[in-house]
Amino acid sequence: MTDNDNNEDLRDLTAEAAPEVAQNDRVTALEAELDDAKAATLYAQAEIQNVRRRAEKETSDARTYAATNFARDILSVADNLSRALESIPADLRGDEKFKGLVVGLDATGRELDSIFARHGISKIVAVGEKLDPNRHQAMLELPSDQEPGTIVQEMQAGYMLKDRLLRPALVGVAKKPG
């Protein structure tokens, strides 16, 4: 065999192998493209699921807390009713002239409490509790024999709407005497 024959054989082998190499490169490129497409699809599905969950939570919160502003406004009515009931002297409570008024105010207070309970509005317990800045607002410190930081007086009731604060309780907190 001559060098010419060897070169021709080499050209024939290269020509036969070239389509195979090109085919393998194309398959590898297509597999990489397929992997990228699968990853993008999974990412898009996860993002859609996150958006759906977020939308469901926002919808649920909107339903649950839609009446927040109205509830805050109605709290002043509850405060005024409580003050009215507390201001009636004990001797007038038994008086026949005022008995109807007192009974009506008591019934209105109970109905308001019942409506609050139905809608998830609850009064914050304050007196005797430790000051919680997430639920109480300290207005003053009072000398007391109780442990410092304990609530000893409530100036205005606080309320929660389910797990959210509607209005903090305005309170007086114990401090060491002297």
Q: Which residues pair with 169 in a beta bridge?
A: 136
Per the prediction, the chain carries an average pLDDT of: 86
Distance CA 101, CA 107 (A): 10
Domain map (residue ranges) of the chain: 1-66, 67-119, 122-178
CATH code that applies to domain 122-178: 2.30.22.10
Distance CA 130, CA 128 (A): 7
pLDDT band at 37 (very low <50, low <70, confident <90, very high): very high
Q: What is the pLDDT of residue 117?
A: 92
Mean pLDDT of 170-176: 92
Give pLDDT tens digits for 119-135.
889 999 999 999 999 99
Q: What is the pLDDT of residue 6?
A: 58
Mean pLDDT of 8-37: 74
